[in-house]
Amino acid sequence: MTYTATGGGTFRSKGGSLSKKLGYEFAAIKTETDALRAVDAAGLKVAKVAVAGGLQNAIAFAWQNPESSAIIVTKCILRITTQGATSNALMDIGPCASATGTGDTLLDGVAVTATGTFDNLTDKGTHGLLQVVVDENGGTNDFITGKIIDAAAAALVGKVYIFYTVV
């Protein structure tokens, strides 16, 4: 279900005033938006967060749960578009108490030395789990961070996608 704008020729050939034609287009957009809102209300949400390089022990990203309830993170995908450069740079990703904390219960020790896509289902490492609970905004463990470990990854660029459901 994706809104597709009416082509110029079809738009011009429709009867009625410009206002009426635009009204039909806006109604179609509203229908699409309402459908997407219903999916959102059903549960699954995705946060997209930029990942940046840094020195060893630097925080590459920090995301705080925006919800007023706890969430269950069901999937975490790390997409590296520019490798970190240092041969033994790793990253830990997981829930923690602050934007500067460290967690490794989503991805534990994933290599950031090559471009690619990594997730907590197939690349979770020793401590990674398939799902984790993150506290409500303002709770004890309401952040998910990615920390560069073992070596610097100054050139690192990418995004992390956090799939979650509000509890």
- Pairing verdict, β 90-96 and 143-149: antiparallel
CB 34 within 8 Å of CB 133: no
Beta bridge partners of 63: 144
Is residue 24 predicted with pLDDT exceeding 90? no
Better-predicted residue by pLDDT, 32 or 25 = 25
Q: What is the pLDDT of residues 46-70, one digit of tens each?
A: 999 999 999 999 999 999 999 999 9
pLDDT exceeds 60 at position 29: yes
Tokens of 152: 């610097």
Element (H, E) at 157: strand 153-166
How far lies 145's CA from each of 62, 82, 93, 157, in Å?
Answer: 4, 19, 6, 15
Question: Domain 44-166 adopts which CATH fold?
Answer: Jelly Rolls (2.60.120)
Region 14-29: what's the mean pLDDT?
Answer: 78
What tens digit of pLDDT does each residue of 87-141 get? 899 999 999 999 999 999 999 999 999 999 999 999 888 988 899 999 999 999 9
Q: Where are the alpha helices (DSSP H) in 43-119?
A: none
In this structure, are residues 138 and 70 in contact, taking their beta carbons and an 8 Å threshold? Answer: no
CB atoms within 10 A of CB 51: 24
Q: What is the pLDDT of residue 100?
A: 96
Give the start-to-end residue ranges of the domains of the chain. 8-42, 44-166
